[in-house]
Structure 1
Amino acid sequence: MLHTSIEEIAKYNGKEVKLQGWLYNLRSSGKIHFLQVRDGSGFIQGVMVKNDVGEELFNKVKEMSQESSVTVEGIVKEDHRAPSGYELSITNVELVHKADEYPISKKEHGTDFLMDHRHLWLRSPRQVAIMKIRDTLVKATRDFFHKDGFTLVDAPILTPSSCEGTTTLFETDYFDTKAYLSQSGQLYMEAAALALGKVYCFGPTFRAEKSKTRRHLIEFWMIEPEMAYVEFEENLQIQENYLTYIVEEVLEHNKKELEVLDRDLTKLESIKAPFPRITYDKAIELLQEKGEDIKWGDDFGAPHETIIAEQFQKPVFVTHYPTKIKSFYMKPDPQRPEVVLAADLLAPEGYGEIIGGSERISSLDLLMERVEQENLPLDAYQWYIDLRKYGSVPHSGFGLGLERTVAWVCGLDHIRETIPFPRMLNRMYP
């Protein structure tokens, strides 16, 4: 008996195989059972005919409950009507464990109920599809950077200071002092880039931001590359190539999952570098023309980002933001110091910012000026200041939010479905 997975079922057309998984759904029509079986790699329908397996086994299967764990044996048959392209003509079913009455049924459940049962909701076809696409994006990220000579460097999660201000930090006791959960690994990546040239970190970050929007999580994952001897323009090109690559990988490897999500593939197929660009100045003019109450020097909210992105079919860079609304480490434009050499990349279809990046300040004097302006504690940032004393070079980097990218690629209404166990303002269970 050949033991295989549903994902590999096409290799065994016409052969008898064994699957180990769970009974996702069971329906009967007279002397025929239709079993929907899942095994983590996919879903397949098995057909059991009473006359073929005998009355005892047929009746035994009738008593099996949803999500009972089972071992199924059967002959693989090609069937173009089936979602997987194949069906199983069942010869035997062995019950491993009979599940209690399953709380998630096919009827409509409220979001709170589903989130309370997230540990079980993950088993549904839609959630499995999202997790597999997330996995592809993670693998594609690692492949892209390793192919281009980047070194993965792990940034600490406990930090002595903030990267972008202290108002949204989680504070914790660290023996006899205070520490914070990291908002970003970027400052540490700057140190690593001066050691290794091109680096990236990929890990969890935390924002104690009291936001309930469909774009925000409290705990999320960031990909943060940092590159020595890379200036603003080259930084944007790397971002374009990276995003194009990971979307292409999803299109190549996750067509089945995208179909489960009813994703419009043409929207993703158009994601090719280069991406359009608009300056902050022009974006303000555009928003004012659209009737928005906004003036130069204001930051953009979600509605503003949506309006800007609607003007383009691809992701769009908004560049040269006012220095005063951006982080202290961003390099001012030498030709126009009131704006910085920074850009946010806005995803189409109303998904907002998915990448933020900039060229960093490499001048010690200018960095000290910005540290003083922001009233940052010198002792906490001394190590970062040292980087401008010992072989400083032009360098740039960016950060991509994995969950926002998953939401956009999958076409999801809310970011809470993009991570296995979301942490939100009013939710830390399960």
Structure 2
Amino acid sequence: MNTTIKQAKQHLNEEVTIGAWLTNKRSSGKIAFLQLRDGTGFMQGVVVKNNVSEEVFQLAKDITQETSLYVTGEITEDYRSDLGYEMQVKSIEVIAEAHDYPITPKDHGTEFLMDHRHLWLRSKKQHAVMKIRNEIIRATYEFFNDNDFTKIDPPILTASAPEGTSELFHTKYFDEDAFLSQSGQLYMEAAAMAHGRVFSFGPTFRAEKSKTRRHLIEFWMIEPEMAFCNHQQSLEIQEQYVAHVVQSVLKNCKLDLKALDRDTTNLEKVTTPFPRITYDDAVEFLKEQGFDDIEWGEDFGAPHETAIANHYDLPVFITNYPTKIKPFYMQPNPDNEDTVLCADLIAPEGYGEIIGGSERINDLSLLEQRIDEHQLDAESYSYYLDLRRYGSVPHSGFGLGLERTVAWLTGVEHVRETSPFPRLLNRLYP
């Protein structure tokens, strides 16, 4: 019977065949231990000399790393294994031999591993990171589908910049200028006026010449928009969503978290509500912590965000940033016209901002004023202004960066490990 490593537990004391690759092996005089993987998991195959032919045992000793195989044997309990079972191998069929596999069990430098990213993905820890990434995506669809959101796909080629920045990838669209999207938000606002609650999930591009451990050139964003939704209601949805994702990963990725040696103590504390601190109070807090150079009106850097996050056990919202450092479309704070109704959600343990969101301006004249103040081309935003001309309503939205969230939940240090094929300032290969 053919099966997979993941499904093998359903066949205890049965003989099965599994297609797999050899990740490592060790052997003594009479037993060979084969570390096998098949994409669904990792399992040990035990080859006992007295139980197999001489040819099979010699093959088991000679197999090279990453050779592909069909292994046949009986699935038996093994309480020392994370899986709780292993295979007593009876026969081995080599599919394709691998020779001189470049990534050996020894340590390798980061640049070497990134040059061989197409192979590094096979390692146990990188496999675990991608499985957790997949679970975050699955839980995302589950949350938004269960809460009556409709998925809408915004375009990747756009004629304008949602954030109003110059950090865009430019291309020619026949005889027009176009840009790779840095956010689907403006299109999602249009979709929200048709469907009420919507979300997108897709790639975005930022031409930032940044080399920090938190930045990628190409990354994936989950961007919900909600009609008839104010800022406070949006914050509640954000924290419910993040808590749902965290709990889903804890429930469904136990072996993957263990493979990464992830201490889940802090993750297990992630329940709603999340703490909130205003930008004003955050500036005062930072000064008390010794950040004497921070002044009101400046954006926070990674050290500032980390200091604030370390004060809490949970993700923390920093709310009501100054108007001048935020995009043009954010609704003014009625209690302080110098700030806007927005929030960044800062992850614990130094992983920085994972969500940025706000209530959007719904007044046509104010939005036109903001576009003019930011020296943007009003014609490029004509469709966006139409949303305020024809049945405008209070509405809010946010964007969650997938890779930073993966980094936080997996505990990996750099976001380059959270994308299967990351695009960095100096890397477009593989």
Q: Could you tell me the TM-score, scaled by structure 1's length?
A: 0.99
Instruction: State how far apart, in whole Å, the 1-side matches of 2:336 and 2:304 are.
Output: 24
User: What are the Cα deviations for residues 191-224 of structure 1, in whole angstroms up to 9, with x where unaligned?
Assistant: 0000010000000000000000000000000000
After superposition, residues 225-244 of structure 1 pair within 5 angstroms as 225-244=224-243
1:255 aligns with 2:251: no
Instruction: State how far apart, in whole Å, the 2-side matches of 1:316 and 1:57 are.
Output: 58
Query: Aligned AA for 2:341?
Result: L
Unaligned runs of 5+ in 1: none
Identity within the alignment, %: 60
Residue of structure 2 equivalent to 1:361: 361
1:277 aligns with 2:276: yes
Residue of structure 1 equivalent to 2:295: 295
Residue of structure 2 equivalent to 1:397: 397
User: What are the Cα deviations for residues 142-199 of structure 1, in whole angstroms up to 9, with x where unaligned?
Assistant: 0100010000000100000101123210001111111000000000000000001000
Instruction: State how far apart, in whole Å, the 2-side matches of 1:412 and 1:164 are.
Output: 29
SS at match of 1:265: coil
1:339 aligns with 2:339: yes
After superposition, residues 73-152 of structure 1 pair within 5 angstroms as 73-152=72-151
Query: Aligned AA for 1:337?
Result: E
Instruction: State how far apart, in whole Å, the 2-side matches of 1:336 and 1:33 are.
Output: 71
| Preserved CA contact (<8 Å) 2:206 2:217 | yes
SS at match of 2:44: strand
1:290 deviation in Å? 1.4
Residue of structure 1 equivalent to 2:210: 211
Q: Could you tell me the TM-score, scaled by structure 2's length?
A: 0.99
Give the alignment's Cα RMSD to 1 decimal. 0.7
Residue of structure 1 equivalent to 2:52: 53
Residue of structure 2 equivalent to 1:313: 313
After superposition, residues 8-87 of structure 1 pair within 5 angstroms as 8-87=7-86
Residue of structure 1 equivalent to 2:158: 159
Instruction: State how far apart, in whole Å, the 1-side matches of 2:339 and 2:316 are.
Output: 19
SS at match of 2:114: helix
Instruction: State how far apart, in whole Å, the 2-side matches of 1:258 and 1:60 are.
Output: 33
Instruction: State how far apart, in whole Å, the 1-side matches of 2:55 and 2:154 are.
Output: 59
1:48 deviation in Å? 0.6
Deviating runs (4+, > 6 A) in structure 1?
A: none
Instruction: State how far apart, in whole Å, the 1-side matches of 2:109 and 2:333 are.
Output: 50
| Preserved CA contact (<8 Å) 2:276 2:317 | yes
Instruction: State how far apart, in whole Å, the 2-side matches of 1:403 and 1:331 are.
Output: 28
Query: Aligned AA for 1:73?
Result: T
1:356 deviation in Å? 0.4
1:61 deviation in Å? 2.7
Residue of structure 1 equivalent to 2:377: 377
Instruction: State how far apart, in whole Å, the 2-side matches of 1:267 and 1:335 are.
Output: 34
| Preserved CA contact (<8 Å) 2:34 2:60 | no
SS at match of 1:81: coil
1:50 deviation in Å? 1.5
1:67 deviation in Å? 0.3
1:348 deviation in Å? 0.5
SS at match of 2:26: strand
User: What are the Cα deviations for residues 356-404 of structure 1, in whole angstroms up to 9, with x where unaligned?
Assistant: 0000000001101101110110111111111100000000000000000
Instruction: State how far apart, in whole Å, the 2-side matches of 1:37 and 1:288 are.
Output: 54
1:324 deviation in Å? 0.6
